[in-house]
């Protein structure tokens, strides 16, 4: 446990002079302030505004995660071509998990800030709604971090960012009828669809179909995410480093 904590502390030190802490601060601030400004002039229903805001956050998550994982991988590449993680004093599993946890912690704080600021202004929904919204968005992003961290380490940051752009397009398409019945199997669509379904549950509490949607997602997403974590650890233990560096 001590090695894990030291690994997390080291990752914080590595990132403090980069844009990573700042993007986690200014991006949610920008989202929340723009949304608050829009709410002050719009005449749309509360359900529409809430759904659009949560869908927007969930929809852009893939490209943001792709960018962040890309930068995290670049930092390790610059620090001895990943040798610090691969041949350091701690095990590879601990080094990988501390990196993943640091990124997830940054992301969780960012989501909490974006939803907390907006919820403090747009008090049309109860506080429990915003808590659940933040939890669902954070949980739905774990697989994305696992996927993009793998892609960034194995193939480079450019590939991770490019994949994030494609995932945004998929997330937007999944909000239409094209995503019905299949979005549970597309992790890049989870955040946007969960935001939409959660808002529908709040606005129409007697419609059980939205509860079933989220229940189905949990039954599919949890084992997929656990499997992805296990496979990531197995891969990183055997990884010999990237052949070509950006």
Q: What is the pTM of this model?
A: 0.92
Assign 221 to helix, strand or coil: helix
Distance separating alpha carbons of residues 201 and 211, to the nearest angstrom:
7
242, pLDDT greater than 60? yes
Q: What is the mean pLDDT of residues 212-241?
A: 92
Query: What number is the average pLDDT over the span 162-181?
Result: 91
Q: For the CA atoms of 16, 20, 26, 29, what is the dihedral angle to 10 degrees?
A: -110
Q: What number is the average pLDDT over the span 98-108?
A: 92
Token readout for 237 is 């233990």
Sign of the C-alpha dihedral computed for residues 87, 93, 96 and 98 taken in this order: negative
Q: How far apart are CA 63 and CA 166, in angstroms?
A: 9
pLDDT, residue 246, reads: 45
Check whether 245 has a pLDDT greater than 50.
no
Alpha carbon distances (Å) from 75 to 16, 22, 70, 113, 236:
11, 16, 9, 26, 17
Q: What DSSP character marks residue 175?
A: T
Which of 45-49, 187-191, 197-201 shows the highest mean pLDDT? 187-191
pLDDT number for residue 88: 61
Structure tokens, 220: 């599919």
What are the tens digits of pLDDT across the range 133-167? 999 999 999 999 999 999 999 998 889 999 999 99
Mean pLDDT of the chain: 88
The residue-averaged pLDDT of 42-65 equals 90
- In this prediction, residues 55-61 reach a mean pLDDT of 92
Read off the pLDDT band of 80 (50, 70, 90): low
Q: Is 246 within 8 Å of 77 (Cβ atoms)? A: yes
């Amino acid at each position: 446990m001590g090695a894990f904590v030291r690994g997390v502390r080291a990752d914080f030190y590595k990132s403090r002079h980069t844009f990573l802490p700042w993007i986690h601060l200014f991006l949610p601030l920008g989202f929340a302030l723009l949304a608050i400004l829009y709410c002050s002039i719009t005449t749309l229903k509360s359900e529409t505004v809430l759904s659009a805001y949560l869908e927007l956050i969930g929809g852009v998550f893939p490209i943001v995660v792709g960018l962040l994982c890309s930068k995290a991988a670049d930092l390790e590449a610059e620090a001895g071509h990943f040798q610090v993680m691969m041949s350091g004093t701690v095990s590879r599993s601990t080094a990988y998990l501390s990196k993943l946890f640091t990124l997830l912690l940054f992301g969780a704080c960012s989501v909490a800030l974006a939803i907390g600021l907006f919820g403090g202004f747009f008090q049309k929904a109860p506080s429990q709604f915003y808590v659940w919204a933040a939890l669902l968005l954070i949980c739905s992003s774990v697989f994305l971090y696992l996927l993009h961290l793998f892609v960034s380490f194995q193939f480079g940051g450019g590939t991770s960012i490019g994949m994030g752009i494609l995932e945004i397009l998929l997330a937007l398409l999944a909000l239409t009828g094209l995503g019905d019945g299949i979005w549970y199997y597309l992790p890049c669509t989870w955040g946007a669809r969960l935001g939409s379904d959660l808002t529908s549950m709040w606005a129409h509490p007697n419609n059980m179909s939205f509860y079933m949607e989220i229940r189905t997602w949990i039954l599919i997403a949890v084992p997929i995410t656990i499997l992805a974590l296990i496979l990531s650890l197995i891969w990183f233990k055997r990884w010999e480093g990237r052949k070509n560096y950006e």
